[in-house]
Amino acid sequence: MACNSTGCESGCYDREKDNGSKIVEDAVVTQESVCVKCKCNEPMTFGDGGSEDGRFCAECFRNNVFGKFRLAVTSHAMITPSDNVLVAFSGGSSSRVALQFVHELQIKALKNYEASRDRSLAVFGVGVAFVDETAAFPALSTEMIDAIEWIRSTVSSLSPPAKGLHVVPIESVFGSDSLDPRDRLVKLLDSVPDDTGKEDLLLHLKMLCLQKVASENGYNRLVVGSCTSRIASHVLTATVKGRGYSLSADIQHVDARWKVPIVLPLRDCVRQEITRLCLLDGLKTVELACRSQSGINDLVSSFVALLQEENPSRECTIVRTAAKLTPFYFNKIPETDDSNVPMATQRRLKRFNLKYDGSMTTEAFCPICNGPQNISDSSELDYFEEGQESDALYAACCSSCRFQILPQDGSSREQFGSFLPDHMISQVKHQKVNSQAYLREKIKDCLLLDDEEVV
């Protein structure tokens, strides 16, 4: 799928190239009578009004999408034989395709394993995680029961090799020893004044939940099915929320700032391809009506949809632009001397990681969104903010979370802090201690008194 010329704002050259949005009434044809790639099979028409309809045959189309997935996996060493991979599954089309493709990779690995004599390369393990958000959206409870049932049967149909399924309620992010976690979640969300902030906080909690499931069950990779289209929306939402600095951390193929690194193997596939693939392969999906209709995130989605109508490759251009931003040191699978990791993998990691410059600056991370922070950000007062608050949570958060998630006055903020999951709070303390210790290290030889640092 060619992404178009970027120099022309009027799109005059695009029209010739793509956007053949002729809606085909019956399953018969378009200009080509053979697939443009293999030149022998009949091309598929999806009749969905999208671009590139009726150009590829089913097989070539499928191979193209799977090919992008596989290229992402191999060139970023996302999944290697010794790994135990957890696929984050929402029931939507992207995560369904991610799950399907991971499963196919696994089958292939199993076949190779069984066929090889020395059984040197193990088959990576796969698990599936679904986060049940009923506590945040009580209206979903009946839908949810059916959805979970469907998920169970879908996952069990994807074997051999068998995959563990972990259905976790979102309130499990508070840990097993929290009293009435459901109630705590409701109180936490209710204390967020801004609608968009509430949505975003829920996303951060969901990620923490997935991380918890992954690390407690021995997984060392978390596969998230984010596609190009979702990332394009994220680029714009991050921009309008003032998160330009941390943007490049969120949109790479690998995000290793978490305990269990996140990988995005479908990053180079657009939603249209994914939807079409689901149609082609009969992959069922379920969309739970979780989203509210009023915030910034929805405004941006509608905006991107509008831009797509005007030019179907806009999403690709947006992501391509953002991909030119400098990533962070954690945007790659960390190299390891672990003897369990095959040499081939280690070599590939070394070769790929050369792309990033070795500057391992220690970043401070926002305890809520885990975004890396610009050093000047934390010390600077916001443009029209009135006083400087002294509580640690406020100081540790990025300016975007301070505005849209933290309550405005001191006492509500304290209460809010008490509802947050322990993991986030420990990040606050960790950050504070870290920077003090770091500074002390630098000036230690000039300090006369041997004061202990009081945390």
Choose, by CB under 8 A, the member of 190, 281, 287, 310 that binds another protein.
310
**Phi/psi at 401 (nearest 5 deg)?**
-65, -35
> CB of 245: closest distance to another protein in angstroms?
4
Choose, by CB under 8 A, the member of 12, 179, 446, 448 that binds another protein.
12
> CB of 283: closest distance to another protein in angstroms?
31
Choose, by CB under 8 A, the member of 196, 211, 229, 275 that binds another protein.
196
Specify the residue, 384 or 388, whose C-beta has the smaller distance to another protein. 384
Which helix (H) or strand (E) segment holds residue 86: the answer is strand 84-88
> CB of 439: closest distance to another protein in angstroms?
24
Residues of this chain, 233-252, that bind another protein according to CB under 8 A: 235-236, 238-245, 247-248
Residues of this chain, 369-398, that bind another protein according to CB under 8 A: 374, 383-384
Is residue 356 a contact residue for another protein (CB under 8 A)? no
Residues of this chain, 256-285, that bind another protein according to CB under 8 A: none
**Phi/psi at 192 (nearest 5 deg)?**
-90, 120
> CB of 173: closest distance to another protein in angstroms?
27
C-beta pairs of 116-125 under 8 Å, 24+ apart in sequence: 120/342, 121/81, 121/342, 122/81, 122/82, 123/81, 123/161, 124/79, 124/80, 124/81, 124/82, 124/83, 124/84, 124/85, 125/83, 125/84, 125/85, 125/219
Residues of this chain, 97-156, that bind another protein according to CB under 8 A: none
DSSP state of 52: T
Specify the residue, 184 or 314, whose C-beta has the smaller distance to another protein. 314
Is residue 306 a contact residue for another protein (CB under 8 A)? yes
Specify the residue, 63 or 317, whose C-beta has the smaller distance to another protein. 317
> CB of 10: closest distance to another protein in angstroms?
5
> CB of 230: closest distance to another protein in angstroms?
16
Q: How many residues bind another protein (CB under 8 A)?
A: 45
Choose, by CB under 8 A, the member of 314, 332, 402, 413 that binds another protein.
314
Question: If we measure between CA atoms, which residue out of 398, 416, 419 comes closest to residue 407?
Answer: 416
C-beta pairs of 161-164 under 8 Å, 24+ apart in sequence: 161/106, 161/107, 161/110, 161/123, 161/126, 163/103, 163/126, 163/127, 163/128, 164/127, 164/128, 164/217
Strands (E), 112-240: 125-132, 164-169, 221-223
- Please spell the DSSP secondary structure of 182-205, one letter per residue: HHHHHHHHHT---HHHHHHHHHHH
Residues 6+ apart with CB under 8 A from 349: 77, 332, 333, 335, 336
> CB of 236: closest distance to another protein in angstroms?
7
* R_g of the chain, CA atoms, integer Å: 24
Choose, by CB under 8 A, the member of 293, 326, 339, 388 that binds another protein.
326
Is residue 321 a contact residue for another protein (CB under 8 A)? yes
Amino acid at residue number 150: W
- Site of interaction with another protein (CB under 8 A): 5-10, 12-13, 193-194, 196, 235-236, 238-245, 247-248, 295-296, 299, 303, 306-307, 310, 314, 317-318, 320-322, 324-326, 374, 383-384, 399-400, 403
